[in-house]
């Protein structure tokens, strides 16, 4: 019989999307809660004392007043940019040419790719992130590296070979045919194996010719259970560049739609400067957007319209966007999302921020039946938050009138010190 483990403490659960119904009806924290683990799955969530009585042989882990919650799900990252995070002072295109492309050239070395992939996952696990959706580089070995590193750690992972055949340096371009064939080989090798999901990955339309976009659209049509990830409407000068490259396109989204790269399993990062038609089409097909707040402010891209997007019921995930984003931490990312929403006149509740960073991101990646929530049958990926991890946070949380006042300071001021424990597929990380 598989050993049982019972985690006891304050347990965060979701009954609904807190942007669709009042947050008080959607999100609950049970101060006497428990999460029963059986192997790599959650067996049950409920009252800790009742589960203790019903499962007397279970190993009990007492977390006291700490918060037991789903592991964070980071819906848009570039693991190859780990080493250049927090690089100074550039707009998007200059930043790519100055920092990103030279670093990504190094991933032709499989040993280098393996080193960075392992380092990236360890850094994010230390921040409570148990699932990531990552771009690799044009090199197939860079995709193997991140999938292998995740498998070694038992993690759920979404990733794909970044495809670029123009507007990139020599040595960092593929072709329409090689992009298709390399991606097809990687899909056969990784998609659906263990906890791996493949995402077909054109970087963005300026770095892919129409021929390459068409080839990747055909690949997606042949593998419709894969995700497709790319960038959309991040900066206004980028949008003008796209208009010049695709003069017959109706808008930025149309540069994907025209080649079969718009669909329900599409995941579009940033999406700050959307036109009405683009919003309508995203809504119609059920595609997901990913909010990357620290990146959007760090590179000066703009303010994502969270309220407007969720009002249209478009799935939204949350992401660090390493390394345009300036932190590996989803706590810092939630704080930035709160601040951006404030600038747009919306006060996002702590429960909504936590949902975005877990269940919302899982939904955007079509993983809601696997991760992102604490419920029976889901994979046992769990983060435990210390709500008094630093003196500054502790002195504020001790004055809280309710659990949400106790949680909010950790969202706004917390870092990796707030991560008391992480469980991946039912295994406690040291």
Q: What is the pLDDT of residues 213-255, one digit of tens each?
A: 999 999 999 999 999 999 999 999 999 999 999 999 999 999 9
Residues 100 and 190 in one domain: yes
Q: Which of 332, 364, 396 is the last residue of a domain?
A: 364
Residue ranges of the chain whose pLDDT lies below 70: 1
> 133 pairs with which residues across the strands?
158
0.85 surpassed by pTM: yes
320 and 399 housed in the same domain: no
63 and 211 inside one domain: no
Among 364, 385, 403, the domain boundary falls at 364
pLDDT at residue number 92: 75
If you count them, how many residues does the chain have? Answer: 430
Helix (H) or strand (E) holding 118: helix 110-125
Same domain, 191 and 205: yes
* Residue 215 structure tokens: 């080839």
- pLDDT of 209: 98
Give me the pLDDT at residue 97, please. Answer: 85
168 and 237 assigned to the same domain: yes
Predicted pLDDT of residue 95:
79
How many domains does the chain fold into?
A: 2
The pLDDT of residue 91: 76
Q: 109 and 136 share a domain?
A: yes
Q: How far is CA 112 from CA 104, 135, 143, 145, 351, in A?
A: 10, 16, 12, 9, 39
Q: Residues 254, 326: one domain? A: yes
The CATH number of the domain where 43 resides is what? 2.30.40.10
Q: What is the pLDDT of residue 88?
A: 85
195 shares its domain with 96: yes
Q: Given this model, what pLDDT does residue 93 score?
A: 80
Distance CA 381, CA 387 (A): 19
């Amino acid at each position: 019989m598989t050993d049982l483990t019972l985690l006891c403490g304050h347990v965060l659960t979701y009954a609904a999307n807190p942007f669709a119904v009042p947050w008080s009806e959607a999100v609950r924290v049970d101060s006497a809660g428990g999460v029963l683990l059986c192997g790599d799955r959650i067996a049950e969530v409920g009252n800790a004392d009742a589960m203790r009585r019903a499962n007397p042989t279970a190993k009990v882990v007492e977390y006291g007043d700490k918060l037991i919650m789903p592991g964070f799900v980071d819906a848009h990252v570039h693991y190859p940019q780990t080493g250049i995070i927090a690089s100074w002072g550039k707009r998007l295109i200059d930043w790519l040419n100055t920092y990103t492309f030279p670093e990504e050239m190094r991933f032709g070395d499989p040993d280098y790719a393996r080193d960075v992939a392992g380092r990236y996952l360890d850094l994010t696990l230390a921040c409570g992130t148990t699932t990531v959706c990552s771009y690799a580089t044009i090199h197939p070995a860079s995709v193997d590296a991140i999938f292998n590193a995740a498998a070694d750690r038992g993690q759920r992972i979404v990733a794909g070979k970044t495809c670029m055949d123009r507007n990139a340096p020599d040595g960092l371009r593929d072709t329409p045919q090689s992009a298709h064939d390399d991606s097809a080989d990687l899909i056969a090798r990784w998609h659906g194996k263990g906890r791996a999901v493949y995402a077909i990955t054109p970087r963005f339309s300026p770095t892919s010719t129409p021929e390459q976009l068409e080839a990747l659209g055909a690949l997606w049509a042949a593998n419709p259970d894969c995700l497709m990830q790319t960038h959309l409407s991040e900066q206004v000068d980028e949008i003008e560049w796209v208009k010049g490259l695709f003069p017959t396109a109706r808008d930025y989204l149309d540069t994907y739609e025209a080649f079969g790269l718009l669909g329900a399993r599409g995941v579009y990062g940033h999406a700050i400067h959307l036109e009405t038609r683009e919003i309508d089409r995203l809504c119609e097909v059920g595609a997901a957007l990913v909010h990357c707040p620290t990146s959007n402010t760090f590179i000066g891209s703009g303010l994502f319209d969270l309220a407007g997007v969720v009002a249209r019921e478009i799935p939204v995930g949350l992401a660090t966007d390493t390394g345009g984003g300036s932190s590996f931490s989803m706590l810092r990312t939630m704080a930035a999302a709160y601040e951006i929403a404030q600038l747009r006149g919306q006060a996002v509740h702590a429960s909504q921020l936590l949902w975005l960073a877990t269940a919302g991101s899982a939904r955007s990646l079509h993983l809601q039946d696997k991760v992102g929530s604490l419920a029976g049958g889901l994979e046992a990926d769990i983060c435990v938050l210390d709500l008094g991890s630093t003196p500054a946070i502790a002195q504020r949380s001790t004055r809280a009138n309710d659990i949400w006042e106790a949680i909010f300071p950790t969202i706004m001021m917390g870092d990796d010190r707030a991560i008391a424990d992480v469980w991946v597929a039912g295994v406690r990380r040291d």
